[in-house]
Amino acid sequence: MNLTANTSSSNSSQEKGETVVCRGVEAHTSGPMIKVGREAPDFRAVNAKMEEISLSDYKGKKVILNIFPSLDTPTCALSVRQFNARAAGLTNTVVLCLSMDLPFAQSRFCSTEGLNNVIPLSVFRSHDFMTHYGLQLADGPLEGLMARAVIVVDENGKVCYTQLVKNISHEPDYEATLKAVQ
């Protein structure tokens, strides 16, 4: 009977994935975050024109995936502004800003803010991203949205850097991300 209890507990924590803090409450992701060295799984996301864009569309470029809950929160909006400003000086690099926000809201935010160096993409119907990257919040106050994370994919499609921001209200480490791209 103890063995069964331990197995259940083990499976339960495995299902919860990574642990983050969301509005002062512990929350868990839907699975483990992708690891450095792995090939980045392809995924589809939706742009402002409601067209599906794939990670593979950027093969041969370095790709920064800026993943966050929603542009309607101050920290998420700030991260998009920061990556927009910092991306201007990067060569052969694209910044994809991924959230569950609808493409219309993402487009409105970027055009209102004058952000031209990032590409907002919605993963609201991207089951392949949810499955392979494990960053959807499985519980907590923002359940169903994405955790805050940054993933860098090199020109060959390999993950060369990951950063899961443990407290969702904090910004990612921009300098560490940019260093991974150089």
120, 97 contact by CB (below 8 A): yes
Active-site entry in 22, 76, 97, 110 = 76
Report how far residue 32's alpha carbon sits from residue 19's, in angstroms, rounded to the nearest whole number. Answer: 9
Report how far residue 123's alpha carbon sits from residue 46's, in angstroms, rounded to the nearest whole number. Answer: 7
Beta bridge partners of 95: 64
Q: Is 108 helix (H, G, I), strand (E, B) or coil?
A: helix
110 carries an active-site annotation: no
- The residues annotated as belonging to the active site are 76
